[in-house]
């Protein structure tokens, strides 16, 4: 049972702050590191994996700093986002080389076990250069699992992986969490994270925006006011009718036509809108969310 | 030394296009020696080919070999797969060096011995001198270029500038440069073995100590740089 701890860890490059005063403990089980692209997820994983020195604060594994601590890799398995450039090796040769570098007593047996875990035994004799993205991802995972690590760090492991393989990878991660390993993976897709992780850490613009059970995070994200534009045949009529609805927080008229509606509870709004429109004899032509992007969700979280 | 890293480095060296270029350089040199030995039999031909081999082919082979075993992995970040292991970074540096050094000896120093024998079979001592001098210079060149590959992704360009500008142009124009020119140290060793090889005048002891200092220092530096290897995201 290993615990990775970040204590007000920051990392900056010149004037650019990549990670800003983040404190978190990554414990046994699966933790999802969620954030939009450019949020600092890769920097955080590099800090946790000992491939980046914190500019301030500390990053420790079971109390020991990980930076310049080679022995930490007996405990850590790392699946970087970086592509494998060992295209001239077969999958089996690559995983076996990893087993040998770990100084395992039976590198051959460990290689086969790791390949079997990720269902890559059959194509293991082919060169990595001929693999699909999903296969390369699984070989990377096999190479990180070959020494049976207590801590597994994965940077965007589902990127470019087809749905079937994604499901398999998700099952594997969940299983490793159940086995008591400390598993942390990063993603910019909420649905992906909540399918695998109970614990979610959200980072936005290098800051720790939220932390907790996926249910809490999901509520935070879905309970925020959401903006919609409704195009209909009577803007003023609809605006007047909607402002009386408890699920509606604000209404305004757009210059070019249409009604902007700020909704606090989308579930009730979705049910009430057609009822209200029909009651007032108004015809709805279009309903468009204006800020459904993940970035806007994250921006809301950071804003509080 | 780590046998797995030795094996992977050798595969990286031979499995890429660079491996072909590495073999082409000594091949061209030997062919040139054969052509020169057929067309002329005077000293100028011998000296020109040996000089070309010593000042250009040897450092070029060392540069290509040293950067091939480390450069691409550092450039694309895939060295992280080797470094995320409980293996001493100095052992990784030494293992990679061993492979690049072996390539420099076989494809850089040995061809100079062969070229010497092709050009004048009656003077095996002179050929041996060029070969051993090249071995000493090649040892230092390889370590220096490996250190360069660990610190910058422009190692090939900087290495070429070092060989062509510093050791080539400036080395010819200013006598003082010989104290800091690896090629000159190799010549000093060669001159000690055969008086037919012109020396630069730093003295044998200085040449050997300087070559050893650069080799050991660069190798330690490479290991230390690998200890501080930083993985940066695309973000």
Judge contact between A260 and A227, C-beta under 8 A. Answer: yes
Euclidean distance between CA atoms A100 and A107, whole angstroms: 6
Euclidean distance between CA atoms A125 and A256, whole angstroms: 63
Which residue has 């992986």 as its token pair?
Answer: A161
Lowest-pLDDT choice from A119-128, A249-258, A294-303: A294-303
What pLDDT shows up at residue A295? 58
The strands making up A182-187's β-sheet, listed across from edge to edge, are A76-79, A151-154, A182-187, A29-34, A199-204, A207-213
Cβ atoms < 10 Å from Cβ of B199: 18
Partner-chain residue, chosen from A42, A73, A86, that has the shortest CB–CB distance to B233: A42
The per-residue pLDDT for range B153-171, each reduced to its tens digit, is 899 999 999 988 888 888 7
Which chain A residues have a beta carbon less than 8 Å from that of B231? 42, 46, 49, 51-52, 80, 82
Domain A4-219: what homologous superfamily?
P-loop containing nucleotide triphosphate hydrolases (3.40.50.300)
Q: Where are the alpha helices (DSSP H) in B122-203?
A: 124-151, 155-161, 171-173, 182-193
Q: Tell me whether strands A16-26 and A56-61 are parallel, antiparallel or unpaired.
A: unpaired
pLDDT greater at residue B178 or residue B65? B65
The interaxial angle of helices B17-39 and B43-52, nearest 10 deg, is: 170
H or E segment to which residue A284 belongs: strand A284-289
Average of per-residue pLDDT across B213-220: 97
Instruction: Give how far A133 is from chain B: nearest CA, Å.
Output: 16
Judge contact between A222 and A52, C-beta under 8 A. Answer: no
Q: ipTM score of the complex?
A: 0.82
Q: Who's near B214: CB < 8 A, 6+ residues apart?
A: B140, B143, B144, B182
Which residue has 């000992």 as its token pair?
Answer: A50
Q: A286: which strand partners?
A: A231
pLDDT tier for residue B234 given thresholds of 50, 70 and 90: very low
Which chain A residues have a beta carbon less than 8 Å from that of B230? 46, 51-53
Nearest to B26 by CA among B99, B115, B98: B115
Judge contact between A44 and A33, C-beta under 8 A. Answer: yes
Judge contact between A135 and A95, C-beta under 8 A. Answer: no
Partner-chain residue, chosen from A37, A40, A143, that has the shortest CB–CB distance to B81: A143
DSSP state of B198: P
Instruction: Give how far A105 is from chain B: nearest CA, Å.
Output: 14
| Inter-chain touch B81–A86, beta carbons under 8 Å | yes
Partner-chain residue, chosen from B86, B230, B233, that has the shortest CB–CB distance to A70: B86
Q: What percent of chain B has pLDDT over 90?
A: 60
| Inter-chain touch A52–B232, beta carbons under 8 Å | yes
Q: A78: which strand partners?
A: A153
Partner-chain residue, chosen from A52, A88, A144, that has the shortest CB–CB distance to B231: A52
Average of per-residue pLDDT across A104-127: 92
Average of per-residue pLDDT across B123-131: 93
Average of per-residue pLDDT across B180-197: 90
Euclidean distance between CA atoms B117 and B124, whole angstroms: 6
Q: Where are the domains of chain A?
A: 4-219, 223-303
Judge contact between B11 and A89, C-beta under 8 A. Answer: yes
pLDDT tier for residue A298 given thresholds of 50, 70 and 90: low
| Inter-chain touch A97–B229, beta carbons under 8 Å | no
Residue A274, pLDDT above cutoff 60 = yes
Q: Tell me whether strands A64-65 and A56-61 are parallel, antiparallel or unpaired.
A: antiparallel
Residue A303, pLDDT above cutoff 70 = no
The per-residue pLDDT for range A147-176, each reduced to its tens digit, is 999 999 999 998 878 888 888 889 999 999
Handedness of CA B118, B124, B126, B128 (dihedral sign): positive
The per-residue pLDDT for range B66-93, each reduced to its tens digit, is 999 988 888 878 889 999 999 999 999 9
What pLDDT shows up at residue A185? 95
Lowest-pLDDT choice from A104-113, B18-27, B139-148, B224-233: B224-233
pLDDT tier for residue A297 given thresholds of 50, 70 and 90: low
Q: In angstroms, what CA-CA distances link A75 with A63, A69, A101?
A: 13, 11, 14
Q: In angstroms, what CA-CA distances link A11 with A152, A292, A297, B78, B79?
A: 22, 30, 24, 22, 22
Q: Which of A14, A70, A84 to mutate to test the interface with B (most CBs of B within 10 A)?
A: A70
Nearest to B219 by CA among B81, B70, B82: B70
Euclidean distance between CA atoms A6 and A236, whole angstroms: 53
pLDDT tier for residue A1 given thresholds of 50, 70 and 90: confident
Q: Where are the domains of chain B?
A: 3-227
What pLDDT shows up at residue B175? 79
The per-residue pLDDT for range A54-67, each reduced to its tens digit, is 999 999 999 999 99
Judge contact between B104 and B174, C-beta under 8 A. Answer: no
Give the CATH class of A223-303: alpha beta
Residue A212, pLDDT above cutoff 60 = yes
């Amino acid at each position: 049972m290993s615990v990775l701890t970040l204590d007000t860890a920051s990392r900056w490059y010149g004037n650019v702050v990549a990670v800003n005063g983040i404190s978190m403990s990554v414990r046994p089980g699966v933790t999802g590191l969620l954030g939009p692209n450019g949020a600092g997820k890769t920097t955080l994983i590099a800090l946790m994996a000992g491939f980046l020195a914190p500019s301030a604060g500390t990053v420790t594994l079971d109390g020991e700093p990980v930076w310049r601590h080679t022995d930490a890799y007996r405990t850590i398995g790392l699946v970087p986002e970086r592509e494998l450039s060992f295209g001239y090796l077969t999958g089996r040769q690559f995983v076996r080389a990893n087993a040998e570098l770990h100084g395992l007593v039976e590198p051959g047996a460990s290689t086969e076990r790791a390949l079997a875990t990720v269902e890559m035994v059959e194509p293991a004799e082919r060169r990595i250069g001929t693999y699909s993205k999903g296969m390369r991802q699984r070989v990377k995972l096999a190479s990180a699992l070959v020494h049976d690590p207590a801590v597994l760090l994965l940077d965007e492991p589902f990127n470019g992986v087809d749905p079937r393989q994604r499901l398999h990878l998700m099952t594997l991660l969940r299983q490793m969490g159940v086995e008591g390993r400390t598993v942390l993976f990063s993603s910019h897709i909420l649905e992906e994270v909540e399918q695998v992780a109970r614990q979610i850490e959200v980072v936005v613009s290098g800051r720790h925006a939220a932390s907790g059970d996926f249910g809490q995070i999901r509520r935070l994200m879905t309970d925020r006011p959401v903006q919609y534009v409704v195009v209909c045949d009577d803007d003023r009529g609809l605006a007047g009718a909607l402002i009386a609805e408890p699920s509606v927080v604000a209404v305004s008229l757009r210059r070019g036509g249409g009604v902007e509606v700020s909704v606090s509870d989308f579930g009730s709004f979705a049910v009430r809108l057609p009822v209200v429109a029909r009651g007032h004899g108004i015809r709805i032509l279009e309903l468009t969310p204006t800020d459904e992007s993940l970035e806007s969700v994250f921006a809301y979280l950071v804003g509080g | 030394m780590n046998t797995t890293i030795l094996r992977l480095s050798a595969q990286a060296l031979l499995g890429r296009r660079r491996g072909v270029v590495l073999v082409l350089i000594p091949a061209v040199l030997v062919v040139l020696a054969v052509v020169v030995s057929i067309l002329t039999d005077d000293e100028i031909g011998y000296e020109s080919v040996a000089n070309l081999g010593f000042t250009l082919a040897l450092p070029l082979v060392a540069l290509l070999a040293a950067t091939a075993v480390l450069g691409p992995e550092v450039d694309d970040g895939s060295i992280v797969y080797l470094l995320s292991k409980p293996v001493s970074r100095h052992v990784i540096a030494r293992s990679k060096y061993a492979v690049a050094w072996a390539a420099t000896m076989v494809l850089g120093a040995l061809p100079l011995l062969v070229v010497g024998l092709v050009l004048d079979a009656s003077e095996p001592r002179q050929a041996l001198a060029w070969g051993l001098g090249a071995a000493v210079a090649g040892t230092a060149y390889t370590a220096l270029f490996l250190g360069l590959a660990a610190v910058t992704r422009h190692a090939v360009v900087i290495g070429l500038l070092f060989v062509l500008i510093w050791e080539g142009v400036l080395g010819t124009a200013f006598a003082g440069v010989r104290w800091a020119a690896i090629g000159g140290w190799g010549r000093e060793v060669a001159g000690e073995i055969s008086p037919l090889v012109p020396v630069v005048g730093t003295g044998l002891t200085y040449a050997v100590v300087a070559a050893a200092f650069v080799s050991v220092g660069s190798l330690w530096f490479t290991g230390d740089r690998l200890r501080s290897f930083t993985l940066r995201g695309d973000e």
